[in-house]
Structure 1
């Protein structure tokens, strides 16, 4: 597999690390499926298999009582328990309940949604007394993914990289981070999923890039949405250790285009509703209620629609068939690919939109593209592929990455580089945020001519559209008292704003400035400047990280001198403009200095500069993240559910072990060899116990505790093991006897050959040493013969007198004595040829033994 080969080249553990800190996992969490990858020293980067030995797990969860069921099992239970099975929770992350996307979600999935009383976000009403936040449901699935990775790594794992769609805003990204925190994971970074695909594309093509940029479009139609990223690849040489240079790959995301609601799931919904309409038509005179009112029936149809869609991707027609769909009526309905394309025609018209938007935003044309790489399950639909070929040209369509797994492999590679525990081929990734972010700020109030105080409001775009993530900027505010500013998304395109959600992110409150200024009331101060550092993190979240104030003051002597200056000799120094300055953190902030107008007698210079740290308080105003107290409560509840799940799994394992043992031994006691080594009474007793246990398992055992399963298994093993041991020895003993007899004969022949072909003066072993070994061999032979005589007299249903383990121990004793023989130097000089020959003979005998 190319990934294993690739990682063998590019991924090397730097050194042996403590087991608890070495492994890193990646989660590619999609609307319908999630994949988990693992990177750990000593094993190749690869996908983690789930409990069904599958490489991906369906993103579904059923909760029944205290039991949680994941993946395909949850999907199968969805029709029986539609209100307690949760699908596609990714769609409602970081959303307010009155959001249009939530309304669309409720039109498909029957779960009851209520608003969080504090945050206004989605909460699922599980039953009359229990609710789950979206973050909690997602955390359960993250924890399930963590269990899969830990089972593969055989160690605890905390570090993770998680993929997100590039269009996710601050609130959606924060919800992912909160869910990971609840699951006990430490997020190294969030990575845009299409960027992760591009990274995976790059790591297998180190030699195909040059210093001239290559432009590739990565088009991903998943279950929930469609994204297109325009990515540039090129190489550059940078200085390495010492006088050497190294070549790195620069991966730069230039722009993105997307359609939040166009995905494979939308095609499933169209097909589901078409089937429902046809069902109502077919049985219009027999139905008491429309199928649209039945949660179970519509859930069955949704699952069936996905199955039929997959069939139509490879065939021109299919048949939908569901028994007892609604009101005891079966449904069987044929459909053709052409009909499917007809009912989804309007969706196909939107297929090229993300590509066109990405090219427009990146100011490139189709002619500039080397290829358009397709990923995601949606691109397997023939009509979608046809639209894409019409858009970019068939010659530029490429499917040279694994459409299902490229993102999770790219995310795992990113995690390996960030963990500092691995050395990886260097790929410099420059990702972007698709939305502009601005700082809104009111100036300090000034008195106007009419005596009223007025402030000006400024809107400064801090991070432009398509700004690189990981950017830090500094803003300078001329202020003399505590103040606030807000972080908001700047004006969005109407089409983007429709599905975007809140645009207000947070209000940052700068405090401590008023108190700092009060300390200098007795001296003159230049108007202070507050510098605030703001960061757009690698995960795409904006925040104010620190604030400082710089205060310039005059000494008392300077102030005294300036008091006696002629007023005519000094012009008023205008105050600096109220508009805050915004610069990159790496640049120096422009400072406003006083201007001198009298050349003969200068105004005394400011003589002292002090810098003080200020406090930043954040008030979230769009969608509030989970608070610390809420997290504590959620974590406590989730850990209790984890403990309950573990207890249930241990019980199930103990029950399954007992049940499997009963079935196996019921066949075991009928074996002819077993009959030979056991008595009728022994078998009857064991058979009776097995029958009793089998009956108990399906009656009282349904409510039994773990320990009772274990005790019953132990009591059965006490009856079965002696019989099994006799049967096993009956198979092993002949071979063991042959082996020890061969060893005895070989050792004697070895000693005889040495004595025959050499003299006491020139051999490597003394007669005393050889005789000692010969004596040991004789004792072993006597022991063996004695045991064989006794064994011949022992009935087969008795425990054997001579066992293969006894023989193995005797063989080890002979080998130990042989290897401990000292090799003495010969008393006379012999030729090199003779010595070499004897050494080879000695080695040969050692090997024989």
Structure 2
């Protein structure tokens, strides 16, 4: 069963209240072929950020020429025409040097103008202004920065805190390069995460585990490489803020990778298949080799990717390449069988990678509970079959979103690191795939002793990222440590640490107090949040005699004696108090005097005899440990780390490009606005409605202005000042606007007339209601028969009716005058009466009408209430008379009648307000 990433994140993530956009975090899965961005924003479920094409993933492509850039699908679309300026799969050479095999393969595949720097790094000459070259870090930084822009455009927030997933096989150089790229981009990195770990996190989000560890394998076949990760999952009872709770523990036990096994290699082989077929079929028609045609090779690679995608679901596909090379058209049918033959040997790579992962993690196939597939390779049926051959179909699982598991796992990790989110408690142990050992010369002993080399494996393979450890050795002299990282051929030196200041530290101590002549040297090191090794400090540690210890013993002995004296004095005081009480029984008078003296003197005597207690002396140890900081100079022997000035320079060039792009956008907008206005004016003149409100001279003037502006634009299209284009557009608007206003004027007349008609209809409805109600209640509207208290309001209604009639008459007069003014008027001239006069006329009458409606409504409510009061009083009187006639006593009858009348009056007073409320609600 497949679970969507949105469902998993919605089900398992409980967000806290909204705390502002700054609390939002990102997960970025930057792949060689595409990248995806996921957002966690308080109050909303985690989900993928859509790009400008409303797609969930964006091609990792960048086109750049001069200061013009295109990203994503826009860059891919021009890659066939401008291959020399389009950079694809930059991630595959991140951290590589110019002489590496992967760099050579990249040059042959894409043919870019790649240059070597002084330290052997890679830069590209893409024809930028000022002869500026771009590093791989610059290219990736631009794409990461583009990812932030997509978040801002799609979600309207400025989120920068992010976890970025990287291939598990990235070593020190690749991780350093990614760190630099992230810093240039403006992303605030919360850390890096191995892609296998991010997929495992996503898997754990939707599962519950027991205390017994269960092992799963994650096969991630991406565009540039395949990584096989072995991870264990279990539930653990632990205390969180003093409360016991079950947490999920995800342990990235280890992994194996193959950087030659991926979708990119399949594309390359398909391209070679297309080229070889083309050469065989069209060799007599070609003058030059197609392999020297960069555009043709780029088009063939693009077509190969399309063919691969289609063959994942279809049995065959036709490749069609028009004017492929030297205007030669070429078409080719490619079957699934052809494709599988091309990649048949990759199956052995696949099996070897899986076997290697089991061997490195010391696991057997039987220990693997299931095999979860992730990455784009999950869509290649051939590879799925090979995987089933190894483990059996029953162990192959697809219960995660293969494309999005990595990025959702990354954003989940980011949310878990932020205090603004409350997520499922999953503890991840991410691991580093290369062992690191330290080598140094052991200090010689004796006068003629020789130093001997020491090698310590300070970080075994798959050590925990974020771990902090200490390397310890005993010596009196300064020394240097060489740090070596694991490679395919053994260990290779990558950094040194010079530790100095040991003799000076020794001199700072009294030799008579030092127990160990040779101090223990502690060198602290770590794998930081990027998985980059670094030495964080060093100390000389001395075990010494504590000079304060003898004094502490003497003081402690004295304190113990003081405590014994205090206890003894306290006991004596209590006994004296008891003795005073017994003497009081001898005689009343004597006892009274004695008791008074005892009460007065006993407390003072007791206080004087019991010494005051003091705190126990602070505990001292006989021996103490003293740490003295040493000087550390940590140097990378082969570093690709950018300096602060390099990063600043890269940041500045990106900002300059962005400013140039913004200026180009403003210029383009100004040009387009002018051009579109010219065309608009041209067709505007020919419209019937325009002809009706213009004369021949005016139309010729409009056409002349349009032609003049078009000619100006043709002659000045290279100008780079937006203000000049805006100036020409404003000239056209100056001629166009009066005509457009007249056109709008005459189009709006019918609407204004409708407004007046609607107003008069509402007025007629009001008057009709007034007439009907006053007719039904004539006696209440007759000043001679109505209640005197209603007379002022009836007069007010009459007055408002007269006022309103006057206003309506004015409206009618205005409409009559307006109709006469436009009847036979020259529409090419601006009309004398503005349309706003319609609104003024209506607004002048609206006030009295609203007053009339309100006053009428108020009067209706009062009259209705008064009528109900009379009806209630009449009903009570009738009941009173009936009770009186049936009574046996006239006096009682009279009393009952008076009582009934009084009750009726009370009831009337109580019910009248209720009756009024009911009437008011109904109205």
Give the TM-score of the pair, scaled to structure 1. 0.81
Larger mean CA deviation between 256-265 and 527-536 belongs to 527-536
Matched, 1:729 2:810: no
Alignment-derived partner of residue 94 in structure 2: 93
Larger mean CA deviation between 105-114 and 510-519 belongs to 510-519
Larger mean CA deviation between 364-373 and 217-226 belongs to 364-373
CA distance in 1, matches of 2:223, 2:144: 19
Alignment-derived partner of residue 531 in structure 1: 522
Secondary structure in structure 2 of the residue aligned to 1:314? coil
Preserved CA contact (<8 Å) 2:65 2:126: no
Alignment-derived partner of residue 540 in structure 2: 549
Alignment-derived partner of residue 156 in structure 1: 158
Where do residues 374-523 of structure 1 align in structure 2 (5 Å cutoff)? Answer: 374-447=373-446, 451=448, 454-490=450-486, 492=487, 503-520=492-509
Preserved CA contact (<8 Å) 1:35 1:57: yes
The Cα of 1:31 is off from its aligned counterpart by 1.0
Larger mean CA deviation between 399-408 and 782-791 belongs to 782-791
Alignment-derived partner of residue 792 in structure 1: 819
2:626 pairs with 593, 598, 610, which one? 610
The CA deviation string for residues 808-845 of structure 1, in whole angstroms up to 9 with x for no partner, is 98899899989999999999754464243234246xxx
Secondary structure in structure 2 of the residue aligned to 1:349? helix
Distance 1:704 1:646, change over 3 A: closer
- Which one has a bigger Cα radius of gyration? 2
Secondary structure in structure 2 of the residue aligned to 1:345? coil
Alignment-derived partner of residue 372 in structure 2: 373
Preserved CA contact (<8 Å) 1:113 1:123: yes
Alignment-derived partner of residue 580 in structure 1: none
The Cα of 1:687 is off from its aligned counterpart by 4.7
Where do residues 145-184 of structure 1 align in structure 2 (5 Å cutoff)? Answer: 145-184=147-186
Distance 1:639 1:677, change over 3 A: same
Where do residues 287-302 of structure 1 align in structure 2 (5 Å cutoff)? Answer: 287-302=286-301
The CA deviation string for residues 243-280 of structure 1, in whole angstroms up to 9 with x for no partner, is 6x554433332322221111111111112122222222
Alignment-derived partner of residue 710 in structure 1: 726
CA distance in 1, matches of 2:267, 2:377: 11
Preserved CA contact (<8 Å) 1:439 1:486: yes
Preserved CA contact (<8 Å) 2:95 2:640: no
Where do residues 274-285 of structure 1 align in structure 2 (5 Å cutoff)? Answer: 274-285=273-284
CA distance in 1, matches of 2:853, 2:532: 68
Where do residues 673-688 of structure 1 align in structure 2 (5 Å cutoff)? Answer: 685-688=701-704
Alignment-derived partner of residue 314 in structure 1: 313
CA distance in 1, matches of 2:166, 2:64: 25
Matched, 1:354 2:353: yes
Secondary structure in structure 1 of the residue aligned to 2:53? coil
Task: Give the gaps of 5 or more residues in structure 2.
Answer: 551-619, 781-785, 866-908
The CA deviation string for residues 467-498 of structure 1, in whole angstroms up to 9 with x for no partner, is 232222223332334433233224x555xx7x
Secondary structure in structure 2 of the residue aligned to 1:350? helix
Preserved CA contact (<8 Å) 2:666 2:722: yes
Preserved CA contact (<8 Å) 2:689 2:743: no
Alignment-derived partner of residue 570 in structure 1: none
CA distance in 1, matches of 2:731, 2:357: 69
Matched, 1:655 2:644: no
Alignment-derived partner of residue 51 in structure 1: 52
Give the TM-score of the pair, scaled to structure 2. 0.75
The Cα of 1:529 is off from its aligned counterpart by 2.6
The CA deviation string for residues 214-261 of structure 1, in whole angstroms up to 9 with x for no partner, is 443322211111112223334445446676x55443333232222111
Task: Give the gaps of 5 or more residues in structure 1.
Answer: 560-603, 843-849
Q: Paired residues, what number? A: 782
Matched, 1:104 2:105: yes
Alignment-derived partner of residue 233 in structure 1: 233
The Cα of 1:162 is off from its aligned counterpart by 1.3
The CA deviation string for residues 497-538 of structure 1, in whole angstroms up to 9 with x for no partner, is 7xxxx8433222334444333323675533323333322234
CA distance in 2, matches of 1:754, 1:518: 113
Secondary structure in structure 2 of the residue aligned to 1:107? helix
CA distance in 1, matches of 2:213, 2:120: 46
The Cα of 1:171 is off from its aligned counterpart by 1.3
Preserved CA contact (<8 Å) 2:801 2:852: no
Preserved CA contact (<8 Å) 1:4 1:46: yes
Preserved CA contact (<8 Å) 1:25 1:36: yes
Secondary structure in structure 1 of the residue aligned to 2:96? coil
Secondary structure in structure 2 of the residue aligned to 1:836? helix
Alignment-derived partner of residue 220 in structure 1: 220
Taking only aligned residues, the RMSD between alpha carbons, in angstroms, comes to 4.1
Preserved CA contact (<8 Å) 2:169 2:257: yes
The Cα of 1:175 is off from its aligned counterpart by 0.7
Preserved CA contact (<8 Å) 1:222 1:264: yes
Matched, 1:37 2:38: yes
Matched, 1:124 2:124: yes
The Cα of 1:638 is off from its aligned counterpart by 2.0
Secondary structure in structure 2 of the residue aligned to 1:351? helix
Alignment-derived partner of residue 598 in structure 1: none
Secondary structure in structure 2 of the residue aligned to 1:389? helix
Matched, 1:834 2:850: no
